């Protein structure tokens, strides 16, 4: 009797440990719908995996493993993603979720902001004459560079698409014409996307 009770307790402990050992897994994939510098793609792939693990607490299957599984299965994940393809991919990867980030806009554009030159003249840093405002110093003070990145983000589970959205982020720090960086804007957008998506789980 005592031996049987010990055996039952041992089995119960094993079952509990097995249940507690299971952790949900999320596969992540970065896609580029436009031309992006290769160094930025590599950095964002690493960043996406790291931040997905940080925000979700799940085990994360990185981009290169997802791409290898895609190739082996012959599944193409583009603008349109068939549910059956996602199910095959999740089964092959042993994942509960697939998070796809598709970069659809990557800009680092110059702008002329006349109000900046007028402000600078207003605080006495530039003589507010029309010649100065339209001259080299006035134009230089009005120059602004803004980095903007837009992502199409989609979260899939075994039942299909769970969430989709378009998220944009800008990077326009002080002296932006020197320090504006689309890679920094992309990281901000990835963080925003992860925080939004994980509310759905």
Domains of the chain with CATH codes: 24-198 (3.40.50)
Residues 56, 95: Cα–Cα separation, whole Å: 14
Kindly state the percentage of the chain with pLDDT values over 90: 55
Does the pLDDT value for residue 132 go beyond 50?
no
In this prediction the pTM is: 0.75
Q: Tens of pLDDT along 57-116?
A: 999 999 999 999 999 999 888 878 888 899 999 999 999 999 999 999 998 876 655 555
Residues 201, 196: Cα–Cα separation, whole Å: 10
Residue with token string 């925080």 = 195
Does the pLDDT value for residue 7 go beyond 90?
no
What confidence score (pLDDT) does residue 125 get? Answer: 44
Residues 132, 171: Cα–Cα separation, whole Å: 29
Instruction: Check residues 200 and 170 and name the one with the higher pLDDT.
Output: 170
């Amino acid at each position: 009797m005592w031996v049987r009770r010990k055996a039952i307790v041992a089995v119960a402990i094993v079952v509990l440990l097995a249940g507690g050992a299971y952790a949900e897994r999320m596969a992540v994939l970065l896609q580029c719908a436009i031309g992006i510098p290769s160094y930025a793609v590599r950095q964002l792939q690493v960043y996406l995996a790291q931040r997905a693990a940080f925000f979700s607490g799940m085990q994360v299957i990185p981009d290169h493993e997802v791409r290898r599984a895609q190739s082996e299965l012959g599944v193409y994940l583009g603008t349109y993603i068939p549910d059956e393809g996602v199910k095959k991919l999740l089964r092959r990867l042993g994942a509960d979720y697939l998070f796809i980030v598709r970069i659809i806009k990557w800009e680092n554009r110059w702008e002329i902001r006349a109000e900046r030159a007028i402000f600078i003249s207003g605080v006495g840093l530039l003589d507010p004459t029309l010649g100065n405002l339209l001259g080299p110093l006035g134009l230089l003070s009005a120059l602004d560079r803004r980095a903007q990145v837009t992502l199409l983000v989609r979260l899939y589970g075994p039942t299909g698409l769970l969430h989709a959205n378009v998220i944009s982020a800008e990077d326009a720090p002080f002296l932006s014409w020197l320090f504006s960086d689309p890679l920094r804007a992309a990281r901000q957008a990835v963080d925003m996307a992860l925080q939004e998506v994980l509310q759905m789980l």
